[in-house]
Amino acid sequence: MENEISLFQVKMPYPLDVQGLFDAIHAFDDVLVIEETYPVIEMQLAMRGRVTGRLDGSIPPQGELIPDILMECIEKFVGNPAKPKKVVSDKARRPTLCPGCGHRPAFYAIRRALPKGIYPSDIGCYTLGLNLGPSTPVSAWGRR
């Protein structure tokens, strides 16, 4: 697949150099725009016939773009047949902080000082601290 597509990374999305992007992509028949959040770059290119991404459903409109999802989107974009999905587990698990997350030490300190206290202030990663409840062994927090 590496021989079938070219990659262009937008290093400075604001202000977006739209003319520079047009110059970079003018030779391609189709362009797949992959953006982690709202399709800002895709909307600015606005070449509906050639640019695909979140707006037309080529990239899922919500959710995290993990490698498996991106691989499926790219395979479909280049016209490769879909591969069967691997089922890792049929059991749901609670969301947790990423490995090496910088929030873990703060949650560990709060648990030490206030064993029943985790007070999230937003709906983002901080809320995941609730899933690291008191039943979580101390070794899972990085202490040995």
pLDDT digits (tens, 9 = 90+) for 45-66: 876 568 889 988 899 988 788 8
**8 Å CB contact between 77 and 32:** yes
Residue 53 lies in a domain: yes
120 and 68 both lie in a single domain: no
Q: Which of 138, 133, 137, 141 is nearest to 103 (CA)?
A: 141
61 and 108 both lie in a single domain: no
Name the domain boundary from 45, 78, 111: 78
Residue of higher predicted confidence among 123 and 18? 18
Domain tally for the chain? 2
Pairwise CA distance, residues 144 & 6, whole Å: 46
Residue 92 lies in a domain: no
Confidence of residue 136 (pLDDT cuts 50, 70, 90): very low
71 and 117 both lie in a single domain: no
Q: 3-state DSSP call for residue 52?
A: strand
pLDDT digits (tens, 9 = 90+) for 9-20: 888 878 888 888
Pairwise CA distance, residues 20 & 45, whole Å: 11
Q: By residue range, what is the domain housing residue 51?
A: 18-78
Phi then psi for residue 51, to 5 deg, are -100, 125
Pairwise CA distance, residues 114 & 121, whole Å: 17
